[in-house]
Structure 1
Amino acid sequence: MSTITALATTDGISAAARPPLPPPHPDAAIYSELRALGSCDSMRAEWADLASRALEANPCLEPGFALAAAQHLVSFRDAELMLLWQGDPGSERRRLVGLVPCRTRRHIFAADTLEGFADPRLLNGTPLLDQTFAAPALAAFLRVWRGRSHGTEAFSLPGIDPAGAFATTLARVADGHGVAVSWQPLVGRRLELPPTSRIATSDETLRDKGRLVLAEATNQADRRDAVEILLAIEASGSRGRAGKATLQDTREVGFLRSMSRDLGRQKLCRIAVLVLDDRPIAAALTLGKGSSCWLYHGVGDEALVGLEPLPILLAMMRKAQPSRQILLPGGLPLFGARNEAFGTISLTRRPQRHMHQPADLAIRMRERLARALLRPRPAAVDG
C-alpha cells in the first residue's frame, strides 16, 4: 500500500506571536464567568492558550471548532461557556484555567439552572482544564453549579473518557464537595470494515486499474480543495440523491469549511484523499493530533462501492502512521481491541447528612434560641 504523499509546501499563514501572560500566584482565587459561546471570539487568544496546556486535549472545544459551530449551527446558538479565571477579575494577570460547555435552563416558577451542553458533533465533551490547576478549577465550577441547581437536577457531561485524567480528577474533587458522580456508557459502534484479506484484494484490483495514491493536504489551499473533494464525493452518492448531503445544507457546509480552515492552521484537522490516477475516490477528515484522532467525516465513491474505497483509505492511513489511533464517534478505536466506549458523567447533589456532632448540635441550639427570642409577641386583646 502507498504512503502519504505531501501535496504542497507548508502554510503561508502564521499566527501572530502573543507574549505569554505572567503566571498567577498558585494560591490565587478562582472565580467564574458565564458567557454565551457566540460572544467568546474576543478571548480567542486566552482560550487557545488554555487548550495548549489542558489536562486532556479536546479538538471539539478548540476555539476554531466551537466558534465556527456557534456562527453556523442553530443547535449551538444557546450554548454557553463557564469560564474559570484565576486572579483578580479586572487584572491583566488573570489567567483562564477552566472552560466548561453548558447552557442555562429557564424555569417559569423557579430560578434558572445550569445544565450540560450536548450535540452529536461534539465527539469529545471533555472540558478544558489547566493541567496545573485542574483540581481547584473543578472545585470552583462545582461550587457555582451547586449554587445554581435544584436538589434533584443533574449536570451531564457527554463524551468523556472513563480512563482519562479528567474523569479521575473529577471523581476525587466531587467527593469533597457533596457531589455524587454517576456513569452511563455510550453505545459505541464500530465501523463495519471488511476483513483484511478482502481489503487487500480490493487494493490489488484498484492498482490494476491505475496508480493508487494516498494524498494529504499540508497547506491551506490544498486543504480547502480537499474539503471540496470530500463534499463532492458525498454529494455524488445516495445522500446527494436524497437531498441529505452536507453540500446541500448551507449551515453544515459553512461550519465544515470554517472549522477545517481554522483547525487546519493549528494542524488539528487533517484531510486524506485516495486518488486513482487523477480521480479522487475516497476522503476522510480527522480531528486532533498526537497519538489519537477522531474520524469526523469519511466518504467513498459509491460507483466503486464493491471495491471498498473508504476502508482502503482508512487502512492506508493506519499503515502510514501505525502509532496513531483513529477514534470513531463514541470513543471506540477504528483498529484495536478496546471495547469500552466513552460515556456520560452525571453530577447530582448528594443529600445532606444529619448533623449529630456536638458542634453541629450547638449550632442548631443557637439557631433555635435566636428564633425563639425574635418571635413576635401576639397582639393584645382588649377585654
Structure 2
Amino acid sequence: MKRIVITGQGTINALGRNVPETLEAMREGRCGISDLEFQDVERLSIRIGAQVKGYEPEETFNRQQIALYDRFTQFTLIAAREAISQSGLTFSGELATRSGVVLGTSGGGMNTLDENYRSVYEDGKNRVHPFVVPKLMNNAAASHVSMEWNLKGPSFTVATACASSNHAMGQAMQMIRSGMADVMITGGSEAMLCFGGIKAWEGLRVMSKDACRPFSANRNGMVQGEGAAVFVFEEFEHARARGAEILAEVVGFAMTSDAADIVMPSKQGASRAIAGAMKDARMNPEDVAYINAHGTGTAANDKTECSAVADAFGHHADELMISSTKSMHGHLIGGTGAVELLACIMALREGVIAPTIGYEEPDPECALDVVPNVARDVKVDAVLSNAFAFGGLNAVLALRAT
C-alpha cells in the first residue's frame, strides 16, 4: 500500500487566522470563546461561542465572489490557500487529473439559509438571490476549491455531523493509498454561528452558557465554534521526489457505527474505532503517546470517551495524554476534526501537547491524564485524533512523526 504524508496545512478559526497564530494560541492555552456578535443574539439563551471576530470578507474576496461564497466556503478557501501555498504544488497536466478534494461539513451554508429564511418569512420578500442554492449546498466549498486550484480528480463532501472532517480525511487517505489519486486536498469547515444555527442547538440542551470544560467534574455542556482547517495529503514517493517538506505521516484510519442511538454515544462503537485505527496503522497501544479527544464538555461524551479509551488501551491508558482543544476553539461540528488535527501535527513536530483548558475539578469517570490547563513539552512519535458524531458515527485517524 502507498504511504500518505501531509505537506501543507492551513486554517482560520477563533484562535487565529492562520496556522502559526493558531498553534501559538494552543501552546499558550488561550481561549477563543467569547460573547457572540450577530443579529438577534439577544433572543438566544446561549450567547457564547468561538467566533472568528473582526473577519471582513471584503478584505479577501470581491463582490461577485461574496455573492457566491457562504461564510463556510470563504473559510475553506482561506485555509486551502495557506495549505496549498505551503505544499508548493501547482496543479496542471496529469497531476491535476490525479488530485482531488474531500471536505467535511455538517451544516454547509447555514448563514445563507438563515439570511434567506429571515428575508422571506420576517421581511416578507418573495424573491431570493439566484445563487442561494449553489451558495448553501454542502458541496459548495469542495467545488470552489477544485475550481480555484484546477483539481480534476475525485472531489466530494462528507456530512456526518461532528465526524465529518475525520471521515473526509480518512477517505482522502484511502484514495491515495489505493492509487486513485496522488494528492488530495482535505479537511473541513463550518460556519453555524448564526441565529438559526444556535437556536437549533439550544433545543438539544447540551450547550453551556459560560464555558467549555471537557473532562472537568463541573462541565455543563459544549460550546460551538466556527472556522476551517485544510491539509494537503500526498503520496509519500511523490512528495519525496519533489523534495517537499513533510509535516507528518497519516498511517491509520477506522470508522464504525454504534447502531444504537441517534444522540447518546456508545463506548463499544468508539472503542472499536480507536482499536481499528491502531490496527490499520500497525500500532500497538504502547506506541501511542497522545490522543486529541473528541472531548465536547458534555457529561455523556466525556465519560463515554474516557471509558472507550480505557477499553481500547487497557493498562497503557494510564500512560496516555489525552486533551480536548475544543476547550479553546469550540466545537466546529463538521469542521472540528480538521482543526484538531493541527494540534496532533504540533505534538509530532514540536513536541508540544495542547492542553485541556477550563479544567477545574477531577471527575472519577474521566480519570485519565487530560493535560489540564497548561501545555506540555513531550516528544511523541504517534498520535490519534478522535471524532464521535451524533447518529453514532465514529472516525479515528492515526498519525506518526517522520
Shorter-chain TM band: under 0.3
TM-score by length of 1: 0.23
The structure with the largest alpha-carbon Rg is: 1
Structure number with the higher strand fraction is 1
Of Structure 1 and Structure 2, the greater helix share is in 2
TM-score for the superposition, normalised by structure 2: 0.23
